[in-house]
Amino acid sequence: MNKKGFGMLGAGMISGLHADAIRKSAKAELVAVCDVNEANARKLAEKFAPEAALYTSFEEMLKDKRVEVINIVTPNHLHTEFVLKAAAAGKHVLCEKPPAMSLAETDRMIEACRKAGVKFGIFVQCRMREPMRFIKAALDGGRFGKVLRVDAVMKWFRPADYYKMDAWRSNRKYGAGVTIQHAFHYIDLLQYLMGPAANVYAEMRNLAHPEIKLEDTLDAEITFANGVKGFIQASTALWPGNDVRIEIYGSDGSAIMEGAAFKLWKFKEERPEDENIRQSGDATQATAGSDHAALPSEDHQYVIDDCVDAITAGREVCIPCSAVRPSLEIALAMYQSDKLKSEITLPINEKGIWD
Ligand SMILES: NC(=O)c1ccc[n+]([C@@H]2O[C@H](COP(=O)([O-])OP(=O)(O)OC[C@H]3O[C@@H](n4cnc5c(N)ncnc54)[C@H](O)[C@@H]3O)[C@@H](O)[C@H]2O)c1
């Protein structure tokens, strides 16, 4: 099988995970790396794809005919301009989360990719983690019965140095802060499971990082349109940092994914496959609770492989940007709620959200 050529845009901290996933993929090949910081691009290519072409200009990489998919791994506030340029050049796009810093930008990107007829997927890769796939399938099959609660608990730790590594990591307008940068994955998981939100209430605090002007702690309540409530506790202030827990409780069964494995998988009516399902995932796999770079590459690889399959089959990717837009709206509503000290009813008016 001919592998699809991937061009990596951004060769910083998390790009190694993407490059590793592409290297392990039987369907994708890293043919180009672009970064304004040439040393970063060179270092990434040397480690993962010595044959890859190196660029410091995105426009130049877009001209490279071997590049069919642009894999965007730049800071959060820079995603939009690159997605728009990639679409205009007729390239498929996989972009890191959050899609953008506003719904208006997100809509522009979705529309541009739709018009250009290119795929546009987002790396909220936790959706594809093995235990989560079992939870989603059981939910869609009605196995939980009436869903009563969904919660996300992210008690992580990031030292002051983490926020000082790059300027964007401590600037809210650039997409820093525990809500949009870290908890986004788990806001997204709850939205993935429950659908769009009706109301959001959030409180944000800085508990342990006086050197930055950002929230390092989020406590939020989401009332989903289906009436189910979900609570999110998320922090990067809580040393030493633990694995994330995603909990779903229903009238007929409950499940807890902790890190990359199951903590609980229990239904009133046990099925023969349940014991195998309980053993799925990897309980030894670090999931960034205390180390920002300690993440599995399998989930990214799933998204990358799926994108190639989607291109070949002419179908939608597994996590299209349009499916992540409601998660971004919830995150933005959280910032509004904290600012206004009141519950926010969706849809939001995002004007002035980052002022
Ligand atoms: N999915 C996940 O689990 C996960 C984990 C960590 C980070 N992320 C996301 O990945 C993205 C990158 O995060 P990071 O920690 O690697 O950031 P980083 O700052 O370490 O790396 C970003 C890279 O982009 C480059 N860059 C900046 N502007 C550029 C431009 N105009 N043209 C080309 N290159 C440019 C920088 O030189 C740097 O090498 C962010 O969107 C972040 O939210 C996702």
Quick check: 61 and 54 in contact, CB under 8 A? no
Quick check: 176 and 216 in contact, CB under 8 A? no
DSSP 195-217: -SEEEEEEEEE-SS-TTSSS-SE
Atom 40 in ligand 1: residue holding the nearest Cα: 75
Select from 3.40.50.720, 3.40.50.300, 3.40.605.10, 3.40.640.10 the CATH code of 4-123+298-319. Answer: 3.40.50.720
Question: Residue 73's closest CA among 4, 114, 20, 110?
Answer: 20
Give the integer Cα–Cα distance in Å for 17 and 300.
8
Give the integer Cα–Cα distance in Å for 119 and 354.
29
- Superfamily of domain covering 127-288+328-345: Dihydrodipicolinate Reductase; domain 2 (3.30.360.10)
Number of helices followed by number of strands (H, E) in the chain: 11, 14
Residue 306's region, left for phi above 0, alpha for psi from -120 to 50, else beta, is: alpha
Residue 94's SS3 state is strand
Which ligand 1 atom sits closest to the C-alpha of 181?
43
> Which residues, including other chains, have CB under 8 Å from residue 32's CB and lie 6 or more apart?
5, 6, 7, 8, 52, 53, 54, 55, 61, 64, 66, 67
Q: Is the CB of 75 within 6 Å of ligand 1?
A: yes
Q: Which pLDDT score, from 0 to 100, does residue 275 have?
A: 97
Q: Degrees (nearest 5) of the Cα angle 318, 321, 326?
A: 110
Sheet holding 147-155, edge to edge: 261-267, 253-258, 245-250, 147-155, 229-235, 217-224, 197-205, 344-345
pLDDT band at residue 293, thresholds of 50, 70 and 90?
confident
pLDDT band at residue 295, thresholds of 50, 70 and 90?
confident
Q: Which pLDDT score, from 0 to 100, does residue 292 have?
A: 87
Range in 37-41, 158-162, 225-229, 291-295 with the lowest mean pLDDT:
291-295
pLDDT tens-digit readout, 146-199? 999 999 999 999 999 999 999 999 999 999 999 999 999 999 999 999 999 999
Q: Which pLDDT score, from 0 to 100, does residue 79 have?
A: 98
Q: Does the pLDDT value for residue 139 go beyond 80?
A: yes
pLDDT band at residue 286, thresholds of 50, 70 and 90?
confident
Ligand 1 pocket test target in 34, 35, 43 with most atoms within 8 Å of CB: 35
pLDDT tens-digit readout, 298-330? 999 999 999 999 999 999 999 999 999 999 999
- Six token digits for residue 42: 């060179």
Fill in the amino acid letter for 343: E
Give the integer Cα–Cα distance in Å for 184 and 248.
18
Quick check: 317 and 310 in contact, CB under 8 A? yes
pTM score, whole prediction:
0.97
Which ligand 1 atom sits closest to the C-alpha of 166?
19
Quick check: 331 and 179 in contact, CB under 8 A? yes
Cβ burial, residue 346 (10 Å; 0-12/13-18/19+)? middle
Mean pLDDT for 85-96 is: 98
Distance 72 CA to ligand 1 centre (A): 8
- Six token digits for residue 215: 């929230």
Indicate the domain borders of the chain.
4-123+298-319, 127-288+328-345
The answer to whether domain 4-123+298-319 and domain 127-288+328-345 are alike in fold is no
Distance 12 CA to ligand 1 centre (A): 5
Distance 78 CA to ligand 1 centre (A): 9
